[in-house]
Chain A
Amino acid sequence: EVQLVESGGGLVQPGGSLRLSCAASGFTVISNYMSWVRQAPGKGLEWVSIIYTGGSTYYADSVKGRFTISRDNSKNTLYLQMKSLRAEDTAVYYCARGRYYGSGTYCFDYWGQGTLITVSS
């Protein structure tokens, strides 16, 4: 059974840093396109980042230069390192598996339960 379990959320001050983890089971992270998608409280969904099977990474303009996606193949875990956090980064962050269709196109077929990040002083 495919499972994704996020952790690492919490309250952080503006300008602070945080690292999210997403432990995967039922499949291997390295063989899949893994993504982070966030949802601000009461708002819609926003794609944040993706890491391809080959290791290439891509980011939304809103987080480029501040967030870094990575994975640990031995732990079958996806990460999102976030720095220079802003109030507008407050959201539930979901780890999602991308269903890749080639040429940079993908939707999301499995999602974790999400972890809440609150950026506030």
Chain B
Amino acid sequence: DIVMTQSPDSLAVSLGERATINCKSSQSVLYSSNNKNYLAWYQQKAGQPPNLLISWASTRESGVPDRFSGSGSGTDFTLTISSLQAEDVAVYYCQQYYSTPTFGQGTKVEIK
């Protein structure tokens, strides 16, 4: 199985500041035939199920604020929240779907 490793495990960011979460896969999740990265990001708020934010490493889901952006390719990916809002407090997970799905361990985002 592909192992997904996120960093940091947690971070505290001031309101309006940038939050950056990293995700590294143990092997490339870039499909050469279509040049797509099989990588998704989810947000999980306390007591709620995960919510799909981004697929294909950088494609935001409908309704997701544009302060959320995804980038990266191959084995290294980043989720950026450009201006942290109070409602963004959550745990964020990356997931690869290049093969049997696996998730990162999660990154907890809090307000400083």
Contacts and interface: CB of A to CB of B under 8 A. Distances in A.
B74 interface: no
B82 to A, nearest CB: 23
B97 A107 contact: yes
Contact of B104 (A44, A101, A106): A44
Contacts of B48: 113
Chain B interface size, under 10 / 10 to 19 / 20 to 34 / 35 or more: 20 to 34
Interface string B69-112: 00000000000000000000000010101111111111000000
Contact of A113 (B49, B52, B104): B49
Chain A interface size, under 10 / 10 to 19 / 20 to 34 / 35 or more: 20 to 34
Interface of A: 44-47, 58, 60, 94, 96, 99, 101, 104-109, 111-114
Interface of B: 38, 40, 42, 48-52, 55, 61, 93, 95, 97-106
